[in-house]
Structure 1
Amino acid sequence: MPNQLPLWIIVVISTLLISLGVILTYQIYSSINNQSWNKKDQNKHNITLMDRCGSILPYWLPLLEGLQNFGQQILPDYPFSLMSIYKKTLMPLVIFYVTHPALAFIIFFVLYYLFVRAKSPIPDRPFIRFNVLQSILLFLINSLLGATFRALPIEFRMSLYGLMLCNTLFWFVLSTITYSVFKSIEGKYAKIPVISQAVRIQIDNQL
């Protein structure tokens, strides 16, 4: 039990630092790009309930990918109550996701075919398209981070610093997805630094 104390200290400190960093980065980025984003937000009245619901669903893909890559390693070290909630809610989905590796690629290509490519068979819904493309980008980032983390020596991954890195990546995944989902519920475009801007650039290039 005493050996777990440094881990808890690092987990708490790293989580606080990540949260502070995300808030500060968001505030700076939002103030710099406020004018360009406001033009798009003025169309909020055109965003229907179906748009909001349809924009939330694609984020299951990066969430399950993040839980597979990072959550399974660090969640057992969290308080038992949180682990119990995880086992009753998300864990069955993660297990299904892990045991069917082709599912992620099938969903990826279906989303790309239906919403992202220029000649999509689905009527153009800019809000859904933005969130689908952003969820795909988050999925790819999570996959890359997960592959990079797994490529590290197992001695490092199981060490205190490895768990700290895993915890940091896990909270990055969870915070970006949670933020994007809340923005979708509000009917607003998410403003994740770099990621959301890359999505906008991709959409503009296809017009």
Structure 2
Amino acid sequence: MPNRLPLWIILIISTTLVATAIKLIHKIYLYTVSSIKTYNKKNITIIDRFGSILPYWLPLLEGLQNFGQQILPDYPFSLMNIYKKTLMPLVIFYVTHPALAFIIFFVLYYLFVRTKSPMPDRPFIRFNVLQSILLFLINSLLGATFRALPIEFRMSLYGLMLCNTLFWFVLLTITYSIVKSIEGKYARIPVISQAVRIQINNHT
């Protein structure tokens, strides 16, 4: 039988191999973490784009509840028919479950708005979540103000014109934000987007 290596040589070789392996694993870990951080901050992924679209359902349903249901019946039948087959079931579910909006609102706030958020730092998603929350609050305020007006005014020509204007404001701002999210670009809605950026800068 060939002579075995002394135990102390085996220990030295084993220790060296283990130390080298640990050091290599540590370097790979540091490189991966730094790459992920750089990638998340400088690149907007498909997940970022898709995740940024979802929160806009909240202000959209709120706007359809406040203004769409009143003016959409006056639009051409074909448009109303498309609305009935697509968005109307969601709006009905949203209206019949009023607590749902507040639950979604607080979940989004907890996950993305708080300073100590449990979610990873994804600036693009956070920007769009904040913007959707702000649009939701604006829609809620406009809806409550419009409903507080006398019914005679709301049913008049001027009331319908005001409701129509508010409806298209909601629809266009949300559509614009969604298109920008798909493109991987930050939306620039006057005042609203600026307020979101100020809020983000104050928490960084």
TM > 0.5 between the two? yes
Q: Is the 8 A contact 1:70 1:170 kept in 2?
A: yes
- TM alignment of 1:52-71, pairs within 5 A: 52-71=49-68
Q: Deviations over 1:63-115 (max 9, x none)?
A: 00000000000000000000000000000000000000000000000000001
- C-alpha RMSD of matched pairs (Å): 1.1
The aligned residue for residue 6 of structure 1 is none
Matched, 1:152 2:123: no
Q: Secondary structure at the match of 1:115?
A: helix
Q: How many residues align?
A: 165
Question: Does the alignment pair 1:182 with 2:150?
Answer: no
Residue 45 of structure 1 deviates from its aligned partner by: 5.7
Determine which of 78, 81, 84 is the counterpart of 2:81.
84
Distance in 1 (alpha carbons) for counterparts of 2:93 and 2:156 = 28
Structure 2 match to 1:109? 106
The Cα shift of 1:44 comes to 8.9
AA aligned to 1:200 is R
Alpha-carbon distance in 2 for matches of 1:122, 1:134: 17
Which residue in the other structure is 1:137 paired with?
A: 134
Q: Does residue 193 of structure 1 match 2:190?
A: yes
Contact 1:115 1:132 in 2 (8 A): yes
Secondary structure (helix, strand or coil) at the match of 2:188 reads coil
CA distance in 2, matches of 1:79, 1:102: 32
CA distance in 2, matches of 1:49, 1:130: 16
**C-alpha separation between the residues in 1 aligned to 2:113 and 2:51?**
14
AA partner of residue 44 (structure 2)? I
User: Hey, what does 1:161 align to over in structure 2?
Assistant: 158
CA contact (8 A) 1:44 1:188 kept: no
Checking the alignment, whether the CA contact within 8 Å between 1:44 and 1:187 is kept in structure 2 is no
Partner Cα separation in structure 1 for residue 202 and residue 42 of structure 2: 25
Matches of 1:201 and 1:115 in 2, distance apart?
15
- The 3 A distance-change label for structure 1 pair 45 and 118 is closer
TM-score normalised to the size of structure 2?
A: 0.80
**Over alpha carbons, which structure has the higher Rg?**
2
TM-score scaled by structure 1? Answer: 0.79
Could you tell me which amino acid in structure 2 is paired with residue 191 of structure 1? R
- What one-letter code is carried by the residue in structure 2 that aligns with 1:104? A
String of CA shifts for 1:126-158, please: whole Å, max 9, x gaps. Answer: 000000000000000000000000000000000
Structure 1 segments (4+ residues) deviating >4 Å: none
Number of the residue aligned with 1:100:
97
Equivalent position SS for 2:145:
helix
Q: Which has the higher contact order (CA 8 A, sep 6+)?
A: 1
Unpaired runs of 5+ in structure 2? 1-39
